[in-house]
Structure 1
Amino acid sequence: MLREFSIEGAGFGLRRSMMGENLDTDAVDFLEVAPENWIGVGGRYGRWFKEYTERFPFLLHGLSLSIGAPEPLDMELVAAIKKFIKQHNIRGYSEHLSYCSDHGHLYDLLPIPFTQEAVMYVAERIRMVQDALEERIAMENVSYYAAPGQEMTELAFLNAVLEEADCDLLLDVNNIYVNSINHRYDAQDFLSALPTERIRYVHIAGHYDEAEDLKVDTHGAPVIDPVWKLLDRAYEIHGVMPTLLERDFNIPPIPKLLEEVGHIKTIQASHQVEEKYVLSRR
């Protein structure tokens, strides 16, 4: 039996630089970390992390599974993640639909070729990880800047992998926006064609404007208005979903981060009010 995710509301990614901050459980509903950054960590960081996992629901968002790589899966890493999940009562694990290794780590998330062969290869590896963890995992739609060997669209590839692997989707709204500009497609059409029943939670983040037709996914800036509007549209299409703010550098003070988390909550609440109103009218 594969374990299901169990989270709700709005959260953000916890970073070590935030150690010592006093987070209010009313301001943030859940937190997320990369397991590679915390597995085996002891001392004051380990104690601090343990305290947080006792106060907040946690999710894991992996960095190095490298699901599309040509080399064998790192099952020792998967086993360590499984142990970490049980140790800290983690609510779910997600990874990137990409690869980052080939006889060593490449320190970047590279695009998997959009081909049917790649669909079958990646789906088999996702199933292996799910079987080993004994729980469903969510794969994130990633930003990419080239599409080598492309035989199908990004959307067709993503949906085919989700179906073949029978896994969940971590929906990254900013990545849809960035890719829609860089690869010239309609972001709302892409969003509408995703399977609602597979979306487990959402990422939202800022990016860098290299040029009018080139956006770079950085997680180093505030979320811009078009991305907030796309999140609003995602709730309209798929319903309100747990949503996490990502910020990896240029991290502002916690109160500033919580303003963006609060904006997520405001958008979520507006849709929940609309839903209640519709139900009351029936």
Structure 2
Amino acid sequence: MRTPHYPAYLAGEAPVDFVEVISENFMGDGGRPLYTMDRIREIYPVAMHGVSMSVGSADGLNPDYLAKLKKLAQRVQPLWVSDHLCWTGIDGFNSHDLLPLPYTEEALSIAAKNINHAQDYLERPMLIENPSSYLTFADDAMTEWEFLAELVSRTGCYLLLDINNIYVSGTNHGFDPKTYLDAIPADRVRQIHLAGHSNGRDGLLIDTHDQPVPDPVWSLFAQVIGRFGDVAVMIERDDDIPPLEDLVAELELARNFSAAWESVAA
């Protein structure tokens, strides 16, 4: 739910089943953002998506952040609350970036402890999203998909799968995105993000989310949507925001892929 499209949402004219908001944008005690949220919440179900929980932080979770997040969740009564498998800062410094974790037992234990704490405090299960990454760690002891599967097992959390992020990371690190998706516990996936990316230097793909969903990401989605069943799917656009009609056209394509799988299953 981006600012240029607020009028359509407030009028109930956006042909969507739900909206997703960035949690941090609505954590104030009042003002126009919360007013807008309250009005839109009367029309559409809302999913809350965070970018600052820092579930991979060895410092633990920020209690002030958790308190604000819980207060917002109590107000919004969202479909779910999600955040990313990453860390965002240390010693009180927030990098405002989704920094990668080493896939080690130590990092897994920290992330699981933090997610369990968040879920207990919020009194609701969380969805954890896979990040895009541009480097790996020499002491990685498992793949990202193995890390996620074990994280789900230890915490009971759910997953928000970003298909674009999997494609970007697979291209950058040389793994098969389909292998990744086939290894994910399908019954724990509640939401899927579809987005675009940009070409960087030295053949790297950059997770800019400022382009239409490209053909390789659509192809991956078409291959796996049947495995995940009745799951929420969303077009995510973070920059170079187009008219709402353009995003709805992409959403219709996602619906068509889902309907094709439902027809086969029937």
TM (norm. structure 1) is 0.88
**2:212 is paired with a residue of what secondary structure?**
coil
Please state how far the C-alpha of 1:50 moved relative to its aligned partner.
1.3
The match for 1:128 among 90, 114, 117 is 117
Q: Give runs of aligned pairs for residues 1-282 of structure 1, distance below 5 A.
A: 14-22=1-9, 24=12, 27-40=15-28, 42-103=30-91, 104-148=93-137, 149-210=139-200, 213-276=203-266
Instruction: Give, in whole Å, the separation in 2 of the partners of 1:166 and 1:43.
Output: 35
Instruction: Give, in whole Å, the separation in 2 of the partners of 1:26 and 1:102.
Output: 40
**1:112 is paired with a residue of what secondary structure?**
coil
Please state how far the C-alpha of 1:211 moved relative to its aligned partner.
5.3
Instruction: Give, in whole Å, the separation in 2 of the partners of 1:125 and 1:177.
Output: 27
Please state how far the C-alpha of 1:229 moved relative to its aligned partner.
1.1
Larger deviation, residues 208-217 vs 153-162: 208-217
Please state how far the C-alpha of 1:26 moved relative to its aligned partner.
6.9
Deviations 1:75-105 (A, max 9, x none): 2211221221121221100110000111210
Given that residues 27 and 262 in structure 1 are in contact (C-alpha distance below 8 angstroms), is that contact kept between their aligned partners in structure 2?
Answer: no
Cα 1:79–1:41 change in 2 (3 A) is: closer
TM (norm. structure 2) is 0.93
Please state how far the C-alpha of 1:213 moved relative to its aligned partner.
3.4
Instruction: Give, in whole Å, the separation in 2 of the partners of 1:108 and 1:42.
Output: 26
Given that residues 25 and 56 in structure 1 are in contact (C-alpha distance below 8 angstroms), is that contact kept between their aligned partners in structure 2?
Answer: no
Please state how far the C-alpha of 1:220 moved relative to its aligned partner.
0.5
Q: Which 5+ residue runs of structure 2 have no aligned equivalent?
A: none
Q: Which 5+ residue runs of structure 1 have no aligned equivalent?
A: 1-13, 277-282
Letter in 1 for 2:7: G
